[in-house]
């Protein structure tokens, strides 16, 4: 019986791929993979595997999500082991939930293999703990590439953002100025600390530290993917920095 494995590939460093993900990649008949999947991971697949690229980046999608959903079903009807491989974790802004629902509606057997999310791994590689006693006891994870409602307005309730929290934005680099503007409008200070981490966990990782007033100028031309961290925990990088 065929099965689709909705699989998280981790944040980039091949060694952060889970054992379960590696085992199913080695058995896969088809691997349908995204842009942020480290290509070295694909070398672990068998020689006869069919590799299908469906990567997306802003303003350019190889296939729409609807077409990717259809692709999963079509391959599941032809092959025994289909791996849908996504960067990070497929349930954190990864459309994994939508794909699982579509497979269920079409009576396709599937399994979820979580991946190590960039939300937790990239800050760790930058030496920035998301929580730390006496500084921050909670954190918020936000998509910087959010859907806009029918009136062209943000669906985020910016008034709910708290400067005492650590805030992590994924996919927000191209909207950095807008993010800062919205947070300033709800009471954040211009001196608020902010870190941008480019290509986190990889050997060419780059970390830029600044505040709301200077970060745009400091962080020009960073390479995607870029993760954004806001909060006082950034100060700890001076002591904890270990990777880059």
Nearest CA to 208 out of 186, 226, 185, 231 is that of 226
Residue 238 annotated to the active site: no
Residues 6+ apart with CB under 8 A from 113: 5, 6, 7, 8, 18, 20, 21, 24
* Residue 156 neighbours by CB distance under 10 Å: 14
Which tokens belong to 175? 């909207």
Pairing of strands 226-230, 3-8: unpaired
Residue 162 annotated to the active site: no
Which tokens belong to 66? 């609807």
Q: Which of 3, 20, 50, 56 is catalytic?
A: 56
Which tokens belong to 147? 């859907």
Q: Which of 34, 89, 165, 244 is catalytic?
A: 34
Report d(CA 31, CA 52) in Å as an integer: 6
Nearest CA to 219 out of 176, 168, 158, 162 is that of 176
The pair phi, psi for residue 239, each rounded to 5°, is -95, -30
Q: Which of 13, 86, 165, 171 is catalytic?
A: 171
Alpha helices in 61-214 (DSSP H): 65-76, 96-105, 118-125, 176-185
Residue 171 annotated to the active site: yes
Q: Cβ(48)–Cβ(75) under 8 Å?
A: no
Nearest CA to 209 out of 159, 161, 160, 244 is that of 244
Active site residues: 34, 56, 171
């Amino acid at each position: 019986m065929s099965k689709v494995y909705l699989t998280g590939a981790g944040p980039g460093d091949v060694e952060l791929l889970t054992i379960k993900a590696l085992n199913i990649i080695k058995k896969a008949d088809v691997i349908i993979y995204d842009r942020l999947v480290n290509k070295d991971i694909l070398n672990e697949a068998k020689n006869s595997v069919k590799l299908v690229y469906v990567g997306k980046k802003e303003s350019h999608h190889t296939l729409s999500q609807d077409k990717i959903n259809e692709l999963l079903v079509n391959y599941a009807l032809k092959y025994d082991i289909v791996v849908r491989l996504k960067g990070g974790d497929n349930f954190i802004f990864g459309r994994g939930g939508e794909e699982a629902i579509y497979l269920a509606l079409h009576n396709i057997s599937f399994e979820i293999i979580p991946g190590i999310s960039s939300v937790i791994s990239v800050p760790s590689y930058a030496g920035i703990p998301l929580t730390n006693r006496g500084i921050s006891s909670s954190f918020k994870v936000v998509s910087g590439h959010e859907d806009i409602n029918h009136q062209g307005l943000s669906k985020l309730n910016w008034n709910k953002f708290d400067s005492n929290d650590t805030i992590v934005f994924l996919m927000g680099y191209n909207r950095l100025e807008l993010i800062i503007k919205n947070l300033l409008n709800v009471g954040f200070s211009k001196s608020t600390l902010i870190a941008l981490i480019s290509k986190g966990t990889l050997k060419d990782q780059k970390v830029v530290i600044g505040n709301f007033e200077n970060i745009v100028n400091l962080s020009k031309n960073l390479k995607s993917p870029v993760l954004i961290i806001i909060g006082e925990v950034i100060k700890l990088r001076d002591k904890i920095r270990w990777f880059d």
